[in-house]
């Protein structure tokens, strides 16, 4: 038997959900990789394949079997295994038999409970072929599937019904079954171009055979590259370029096994619709690629990606055009009908739209947001007209939810509100804020660009967080129906990345106080603040912000409880820069040492020192340096220039090291001990003005 094998597993299904295909494939691959590693089966590479009708994995250079293991076994006590005549008892002989050695070759081991029989045995590793069915089943069971399906009369559950199952080790079928389907070597090709079974002779040539003989490009990334190149090349022939994001490209890739780009057109009159309406109609509803000119104007063209290589591509294009035409006609109808009623005229109807049954209607929410927007605007020192615009925008912010267009295209909420507000003659600042209230909509999305929009977006998010926490519906596990994680991170991004100096704790108190029928608004505000700090931790430690920081750096700042996220950000920037200094490790260790000394001595308050009681030159030097630094850093702290503060404090390394090398802090003389503890307390207090560096390593 060869030392290594090529292993292939393929699960053939009905059409898998396109938006989840990549996630399903990645999870399957990660699960099998982890299972192989846990089983001590080495391999060179794990390649994942995913199409609308299959999830597959090929493992290259898989070890033929597990390595043998040397095991030590302890048997019965010697007093039980050997009788009074020195002969082995039944228990002793049975242990020797289980070890596959003669009794006289057994060893002995002494323990605190007496002497026991002992042996070393070699356990042969199991073959990969015998282990693979169980490992595949384990990997499949760990795939995260929010909603599972049952099919037929069985109790099997998977994301979609399973119709075939392939497991090959080189050229041989591995015995096993999954979801009641026996493993074999028959796969299926393209549903139309190659509908019959296709026999796989070897695991090694899986993707090549599918593409060559069955019109299936099995590798997701390869297929996506084909989709992209086909769309871009075809767009160039009509003097345009496609409009898309990665999500559309991935979704289209997940819908086809044999991508063929096809160009279509629609009537020029539809170009009068807002750009976002056209794009949403073509992308979200049809998974088409809109096309724009070099100067960014949409053309009356689109590109679809077909899953078939037709002998009559013109008929395929015509079919796509016939499908999109009524969609655009509906959008045009909604556009005309919605503009006949001003947004402001819909405000009263928000009384009939429930935000949450315990938190009232959308109109109630709009009123709370308007009031909170006023608080935010005043805290920022914005002009009265800006605050008034934010409150006007808050009153109109949810009105577009009642329009036909948003009812059909929910992703256009806010965007359509902006268009309709402009059409109604509302100020540009009000119209822009209506759109910007939802920003950022997702990770990495743009932030509100106007003061009015920032105020409204913050007020809306903080009201939602406070309200949902107040009724005890905070996120649990993966469930977050009100998007609180997104709201919290969005609010933090606005405060930090835009640079808004606001006391978040105070704002949350204001938001919670307006939530109806809650007994302890202060507790709600505190809970939301703590939750947002956890989101802030992820913002730094997961690298979602402008830089990544370690958990220890976060804790160093969090220990000081800054109420302003912007202030927090400036402090953690300073700590991260400080960590790169050559003095960082020494001073972090010194802070940790000082913190421990003060805690053990019960020193909770900062006391003044008595310079006349200093005995050693090193304590006088440290005291003088602290006095000088205190004057130097005070104006820096006032300007929140924490980086400069820590740079100045880094100059304490030499006097601090000299102090600890020479001075006995816990002197037997109470007066000396008290004075030295006071000196250390003052030093620690200077560092704590920025962060608790004792939380760092060192």
Domain boundary among 153, 183, 214: 214
Asked if the structure places residue 691 within a domain, the reply is yes
Domain boundary among 193, 214, 235: 214
609 pLDDT higher than 90: no
pLDDT in tens, 112-137: 888 999 898 777 888 999 999 999 99
Domain boundary among 277, 304, 338: 338
Q: Residue range 77-98: average pLDDT?
A: 90
Contact 411, 276 (CB under 8 A): no
Round the average pLDDT of the chain to a whole number and report it: 93
Question: Which letter does DSSP use for residue 15 in this model?
Answer: P
- Do 59 and 10 reside in the same domain of the chain? yes
- Do 531 and 580 reside in the same domain of the chain? no
Contact 242, 303 (CB under 8 A): yes
DSSP for 352-397, written as a single string: GSEEETTTEEHHHHHHHHHHHHHHHHHHHT--HHHHHHHHHHHHHT
Least confident of 425-429, 508-512, 682-686: 682-686
Asked if the structure places residue 553 within a domain, the reply is no
- Do 608 and 682 reside in the same domain of the chain? yes
Helices marked H in 263-312: 275-280
- The SS3 call for residue 54 is strand
> Is 0.85 surpassed by the pTM of this model?
no
Question: Which letter does DSSP use for residue 65 in this model?
Answer: B
Q: Residue range 57-85: average pLDDT?
A: 90
pLDDT in tens, 564-608: 999 999 999 999 999 999 988 888 888 888 888 988 888 777 788
Contact 462, 511 (CB under 8 A): yes
> According to the model, what pLDDT value does residue 318 have?
94
Beta strands in 597-644 (DSSP E): none
- Do 149 and 79 reside in the same domain of the chain? no
Q: Pseudo-torsion of CA 96, 100, 103, 109, nearest 10°?
A: -60
Asked if the structure places residue 185 within a domain, the reply is yes
- The SS3 call for residue 304 is strand
DSSP for 148-189, written as a single string: -EE-TTS--EESS-EEEEEEEETTEEPP-EETTEE-BSEEE-
Phi, psi (rounded to 5 degrees) for 126: -75, 155
- Do 353 and 288 reside in the same domain of the chain? no
Confidence band (pLDDT; 50, 70, 90) for 2? Answer: low
- Do 172 and 261 reside in the same domain of the chain? no
More confident residue, 147 or 462: 462
- Do 119 and 132 reside in the same domain of the chain? no
- Do 99 and 32 reside in the same domain of the chain? no
Cα R_g (the chain), whole angstroms: 35
Q: Residue range 345-365: average pLDDT?
A: 95
456 pLDDT higher than 70: yes
- Do 357 and 470 reside in the same domain of the chain? yes
Asked if the structure places residue 390 within a domain, the reply is yes
Consecutive H or E run containing 69: strand 69-77
* Selection from 579, 496, 498 nearest residue 545 by Cα: 496
How far, in whole angstroms, is CA 664 from its chain's centroid?
A: 50
Q: What is the C-alpha separation between 693 and 572, in angstroms, rounded? A: 11
Q: What is the C-alpha separation between 645 and 581, in angstroms, rounded? A: 13
Q: Residue range 201-225: average pLDDT?
A: 96
**Domain membership of residue 22 as a residue range:** 4-65+127-214
Asked if the structure places residue 621 within a domain, the reply is yes
Tell me how far apart the terminal alpha carbons of the chain are, to the nearest angstrom.
Answer: 53
540 pLDDT higher than 90: yes
- Do 365 and 452 reside in the same domain of the chain? yes
Confidence band (pLDDT; 50, 70, 90) for 691? Answer: very high
Q: What is the C-alpha separation between 217 and 209, in angstroms, rounded? A: 10
Q: What is the C-alpha separation between 537 and 195, in angstroms, rounded? A: 52
> According to the model, what pLDDT value does residue 123 have?
75
Percent of the chain having pLDDT more than 90? 79
Which phi-psi region, left, alpha or beta, contains residue 414 (left: φ > 0; alpha: ψ -120 to 50)? Answer: left
Beta bridge partners of 188: 197
Asked if the structure places residue 595 within a domain, the reply is yes
Asked if the structure places residue 81 within a domain, the reply is yes
Q: Residue 636 sits in a domain of what CATH number?
A: 1.10.730
What is the three-state SS of 320-359?
HHHHHHHHHHHHHHHHHHHCCCCHHHHCHHHHHCEEECCC
300 pLDDT higher than 60: yes
- Do 97 and 178 reside in the same domain of the chain? no
* Selection from 226, 222, 242 nearest residue 303 by Cα: 242
Consecutive H or E run containing 443: none
- Do 282 and 159 reside in the same domain of the chain? no
In whole angstroms, how far apart are CA 43 and each of 37, 67, 242, 682?
9, 13, 41, 58
> According to the model, what pLDDT value does residue 506 have?
96
Q: Which residues in 391-430 are b (16+ Cβ under 10 Å) and which e?
A: bbbbbbbbbbbbbbbbebbeebbbbbbbbbbeebebbebb
Asked if the structure places residue 292 within a domain, the reply is yes
Least confident of 11-20, 337-346, 475-484: 475-484
Q: Residue 400 sits in a domain of what CATH number?
A: 1.10.3210
Phi, psi (rounded to 5 degrees) for 160: -150, 155
371 pLDDT higher than 60: yes
Beta bridge partners of 54: 12, 51
Q: Residue range 367-374: average pLDDT?
A: 97
> According to the model, what pLDDT value does residue 50 have?
98
Q: What is the C-alpha separation between 663 and 359, in angstroms, rounded? A: 63
- The count of domains in the chain is 5
């Amino acid at each position: 038997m060869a030392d290594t094998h090529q292993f292939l597993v393929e699960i053939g299904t009905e059409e898998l959900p396109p938006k989840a295909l990549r996630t399903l494939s990645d999870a399957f691959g990660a699960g099998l990789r982890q299972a192989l590693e846990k089983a001590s089966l080495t391999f060179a590479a794990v390649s994942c394949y995913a199409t609308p009708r299959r999830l597959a994995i090929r493992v290259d250079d898989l070890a033929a079997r597990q390595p043998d293991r040397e095991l030590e076994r302890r048997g019965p006590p010697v007093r039980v295994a050997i009788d009074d005549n020195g002969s082995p008892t039944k228990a002793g002989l049975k242990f020797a038999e289980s070890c596959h050695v003669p009794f006289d070759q057994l060893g002995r081991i002494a323990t605190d409970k007496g002497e026991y029989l002992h042996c070393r045995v070699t356990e042969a590793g199991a073959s990969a072929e015998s282990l693979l069915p169980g490992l595949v089943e384990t990997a499949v069971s760990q795939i995260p599937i929010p909603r599972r399906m049952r099919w037929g009369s069985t109790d099997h559950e998977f994301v979609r019904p399973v119709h075939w199952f392939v497991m090959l080790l080189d050229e041989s079928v591995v015995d096993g079954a999954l979801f009641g389907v026996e493993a074999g070597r028959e796969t299926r090709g393209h549903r139309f171009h190659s509908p019959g079974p296709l026999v796989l002779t070897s695991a090694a040539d899986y993707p090549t055979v599918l593409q060559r003989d069955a019109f299936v490009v099995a590798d997701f990334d390869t297929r996506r590259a084909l989709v992209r190149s086909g769309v871009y090349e075809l767009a160039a022939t009509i003097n345009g370029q496609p409009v898309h994001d990665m999500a559309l490209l991935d979704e289209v890739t997940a819908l086809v096994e044999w991508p063929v780009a096809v160009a279509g057109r629609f009537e020029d009159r539809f170009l009068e619709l807002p750009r976002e309406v056209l794009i949403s109609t073509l992308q979200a509803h049809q998974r088409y690629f809109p096309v724009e000119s070099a100067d960014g104007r949409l053309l009356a063209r689109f590109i679809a990606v077909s899953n078939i290589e037709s002998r009559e591509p013109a008929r395929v294009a015509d079919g796509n055009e016939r499908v999109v035409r009524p969609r655009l006609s509906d959008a045009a109808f909604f556009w005309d009908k919605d503009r006949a009623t001003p947004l402001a005229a819909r405000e009263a109807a928000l009384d009939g739209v429930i935000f949450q049954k315990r938190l009232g209607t959308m109109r109630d929410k709009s009123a709370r947001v308007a009031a909170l927007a006023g608080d935010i605007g005043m805290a920022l020192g914005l002009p009265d007209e800006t605050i008034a615009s934010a409150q006007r925008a808050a009153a109109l912010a949810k009105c577009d939810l009642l329009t036909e267009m948003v009812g059909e295209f929910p992703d256009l909420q806010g965007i359509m509100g902006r268009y309709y507000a402009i059409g109604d003659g509302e100020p540009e600042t009000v119209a822009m804020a209506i759109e910007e209230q939802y920003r950022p909509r997702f990770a990495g999305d743009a932030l509100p660009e106007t003061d009015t929009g920032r105020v409204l977006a913050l007020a809306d998010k903080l009201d939602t967080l406070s309200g949902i926490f107040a009724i005890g519906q905070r996120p649990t596990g993966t469930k977050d129906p009100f998007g609180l994680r997104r709201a919290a991170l969005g609010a933090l991004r606005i405060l930090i990345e835009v640079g808004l100096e606001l006391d978040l704790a105070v704002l949350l108190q204001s938001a919670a106080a307006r939530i109806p029928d809650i007994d302890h608004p202060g507790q709600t505000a505190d809970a939301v603040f703590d939750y947002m700090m956890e989101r802030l931790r992820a913002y730094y430690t997961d690298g979602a912000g402008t830089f990544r920081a370690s958990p220890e750096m976060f804790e160093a700042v969090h220990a000081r409880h800054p109420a302003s996220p912007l202030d927090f950000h400036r402090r953690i920037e300073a700590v991260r820069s400080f960590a790169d200094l050559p003095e960082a490790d020494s001073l972090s260790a010194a802070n940790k040492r000082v913190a421990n000394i003060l805690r053990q001595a019960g020193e909770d308050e900062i006391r003044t020192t008595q310079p006349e009681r200093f005995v050693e030159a090193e304590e006088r030097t440290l005291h003088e340096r602290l006095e000088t630094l205190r004057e130097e850093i005070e104006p820096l702290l006032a300007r929140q220039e924490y980086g400069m503060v820590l740079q100045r404090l880094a100059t304490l390394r030499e006097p601090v090291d000299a102090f600890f090398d020479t001075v006995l802090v816990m002197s037997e003389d109470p007066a000396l001990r008290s004075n030295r503890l006071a000196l250390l307390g003052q030093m620690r207090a200077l560092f704590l003005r920025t962060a608790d560096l004792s939380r760092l390593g060192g």
